[in-house]
Structure 1
Amino acid sequence: MTEAAPTTRKAFCADCGGVRNCDVRAHHQNYGDEGDGYIQWWVNWYVLECRGCEYTFVQKCSTNSEDLRQFYNEAGEPDSELIETLSYWPAPSKRPKPEWLGDFGVHIGDADKLEQAIEEVYGALDAGLPILAAIGMRTCFDVAAVLLGVDDDLPFAKKLDELVLLQKIGGVDKDRLALLVDAGSASVHRGWKPKPKELDTLAEILEHFVFEAFVAPSRRSRLDADAKKLEGKVPSRKSKKVKGNTRGP
C-alpha cells in the first residue's frame, strides 16, 4: 500500500555533517511481496533538501515486514516498528578530506596530478572500495616522489632512499611510507583487502607525508612573504625624550 510522502524528513546531510531536518522535494516508492504475500517489502526514494545548508541529495529507505524492532510504548504496552535500512547518494564521506586539499600545489608544477590522485583515493574510500583505495595511496606516493625530484624509473625502495637524501623525509617517515607502499603492492599483486581501521592508518600516513612535503613549506613561504609586506607598516616604538636639568649647579 502506497502512503502519502511526508513533506519533511530527518536525514544525514553530508554537507553539514549531521542529521538535519530536510524538505522532501520528490518521492517514489516501490513495494511488493514474497512467499505468497507472507513478506511485504517497501523501498522509498526521497530527494531531500537540507534546511540548514540547502544541500540536495537522495536518500533510499528500505524496509520489510520481517525486520521489526520490538519495544514498549509510553503506555507500557508491547509495540513494534519497521527497521529502516538507509543509503545515500552522493554517499557521505567515510573519511573527511583534508582542509588543505586543493591549496598545497600552488607553486608546484603538475601538482594537479597529485591532487587528482588523492581525490580518487577518497572517492574509493567513500564507495567502500578498500583494495582500490590502497592501490591509489601507493600511486599518490609515486606521483608525489616525482614532484619532489625523484627519478620516476627508480623502484619504490630507491625512491624512498632518494627522498631521504634530498631531505624531503626523515627516517621515521621512510619506514611509514615503506609500509604504505607495501600495502598498496599487496593489494595490487595479492588482492589484499585492508580493514577500515587499517585504511585509516594508511590514509593518515599519506596525509602526513603530503602535508609535510608540500603544504607546510608552501604555507611557510606564504607567511614569510606576508610578514615581509608587513615590515615597515608597523609603527616603531618612539624613544622617550629625557628632560634636561634646568636648575643651575
Structure 2
Amino acid sequence: MRGHHKAYGEDGDGYYQWWDNWYILQCRGCEYIFVQKSSTNSEDLHQYYNEAGETESELIETLSYWPAPSKRLKPEWLGDFGVHIGDADQLEQAIAEVYGALDADLPILAAIGMRTCFDVAAILLGVDDDLPFAKKLDELVQRQKIGGIDKDRLAVLVDAGSASVHRGWKPKPKELDTLAEILEHFVFEAFVAPSRRSRLDADAKKLEGAVPARRSKKAKKAS
C-alpha cells in the first residue's frame, strides 16, 4: 500500500453514517499502481447467525478501482495498422475507446462503439459513408476486403450495435466477448495482415540481395 485516505459523514441526527476509504496500491509483480475505493454505510448490512444462533451483522463493502481493471486485453497489433491505410489513427482511437467502455462495465456503449469502429474501418477501406450498413457490407465483399462468412459475422456486429443505439440493448459479458472477437478479426485481416505482408515482402527483398548467389558448376571447376 502506497497511501490511504479515509472520509466519513453522517446525517443531522446521526442515524445514517457512511465511510469511504481510498487506497493507493501497487502490484508486487508488475509494479502497476492503481486506486481502490472501499465504500460502506450504516444501512447496507449483511445479517447472519453465528455459531450460538445469535443474529449478527456486518457492513457490506463496495469496492471500485481506478483505472478500472482490464476486462479484455488489447491485441498486441493495435498500433500496427500501417501508414499506407490512411487515417488509421482514427480507427485506433475508436477501438481504444471500445476497450475503455469494456473496462468500465459499459456494455451498451461498448456495443455502440464496435458498430462505430466498423463504420470508420469501412470508410478507410474506400466505402461510401452515405451507404446503409447492408450496402457497406456488400461493397466490402465486392472490393474483396472481406469474404461471405466475414459479412455474416459483421452483420451480427452491426445489428447488435444498432439494437444498443435504438433499443438500449445491454449485451451480456459473453456476448460482448463474441462481438469483440468479430471486430478484432475484421480489423486484423483488413488492416494489420496486409500491412505485415507488405513489410515482410520488403524485408524479403532486402534479404534476397544479401544472400550469396549459388556458384555455377563451371566456376567451381575453375577454382
- Which structure's residues are more often helix, by fraction? 2
Q: Does 1:120 align with 2:122?
A: no
Gap change, CA 1:46 and 1:234, over 3 Å in 2: same
Gap change, CA 1:116 and 1:64, over 3 Å in 2: same
Deviations 1:133-184 (A, max 9, x none): 1111111111111111111111111111010000000000000111111111
Gap change, CA 1:105 and 1:231, over 3 Å in 2: closer
SS in 2 for 1:232: helix
Residues 60-139 of structure 1: pairs in structure 2 closer than 5 A:
60-62=37-39, 66-67=45-46, 85-139=62-116
Q: 2: CA distance between counterparts of 1:169 and 1:157?
A: 13
Letter in 1 for 2:201: D
Letter in 2 for 1:90: P
Deviations 1:91-138 (A, max 9, x none): 011111111112114221111111111111111111111111111111
- Which structure's residues are more often strand, by fraction? 1
Residues 1-249 of structure 1: pairs in structure 2 closer than 5 A:
24-31=1-8, 42-62=19-39, 66-67=45-46, 85-236=62-213, 241=220
Q: CA deviation at 1:70?
A: 9.2
Q: Which runs of no fewer than 5 residues in structure 1 stay unpaired?
A: 1-23, 73-79, 244-249
SS in 2 for 1:128: coil
What is the total number of aligned residue pairs between the two structures? Answer: 212
Q: 2: CA distance between counterparts of 1:57 and 1:71?
A: 36
Provide the identity percentage. 84
**What is the TM-score when the length of structure 2 is the normalising length?**
0.82
- Give me the CA root mean square deviation: 3.1
In 2, are the aligned partners of 1:26 and 1:46 still within 8 Å (CA)?
Answer: yes
In 2, are the aligned partners of 1:70 and 1:81 still within 8 Å (CA)?
Answer: no
Q: Which runs of no fewer than 5 residues in structure 2 stay unpaired?
A: 52-56
Structure ranking higher on relative contact order (CA contacts 8 Å, 6+ apart) = 2
Q: CA deviation at 1:25?
A: 2.2
Q: 1: CA distance between counterparts of 2:75 and 2:47?
A: 39
